Amino acid sequence: MSLPKFIVGMIFTLAIVVGWSYFDGASLDTIVMRAVICAVVIQVGYFLLVFAMIARSRTMSADKTREADRGIVLDKVAEREKLTARRGSLR
């Protein structure tokens, strides 16, 4: 999940918690406390999610990364050559 999506989701979630607390008749102190607790829980959850994603990802050596990038570039070049060959044969 990207950071902007997270921030928008967090704002909507906090707005729902604040609205629910307000319509529940909670005092201002209770509303602020619920919003802070909700924000902390969301932040901790996001941190754990990102940490788990990083921990699960495989580390690649620089050579493997370069080879993978070269393969992608060569595939794109091969596709362009095919298109060029077709275009040239039509003339």
Tell me: do 78 and 51 sit in the same domain.
no
Tell me: do 75 and 52 sit in the same domain.
no
pTM: 0.57
Tell me: do 49 and 35 sit in the same domain.
yes
In the chain, how many domains are there? 2
Quote the DSSP letter at residue 25. T
Tell me: do 72 and 45 sit in the same domain.
no
Residue with tokens 């319509």, as numbered in its chain: 23
Tell me: do 65 and 44 sit in the same domain.
no
Tell me: do 2 and 35 sit in the same domain.
yes
pLDDT in tens, 10-60: 999 999 999 999 999 999 999 999 999 999 999 999 899 889 988 888 766
Tell me: do 5 and 28 sit in the same domain.
yes
Indicate if the alpha-carbon torsion angle 54, 57, 61, 64 is positive or negative.
negative
pLDDT in tens, 57-88: 876 676 677 777 776 655 665 566 665 555 55
Indicate if the alpha-carbon torsion angle 24, 26, 31, 37 is positive or negative.
negative
Full domain range(s) for residue 26? 1-57
Tell me: do 52 and 78 sit in the same domain.
no
Residue with tokens 């918690």, as numbered in its chain: 17
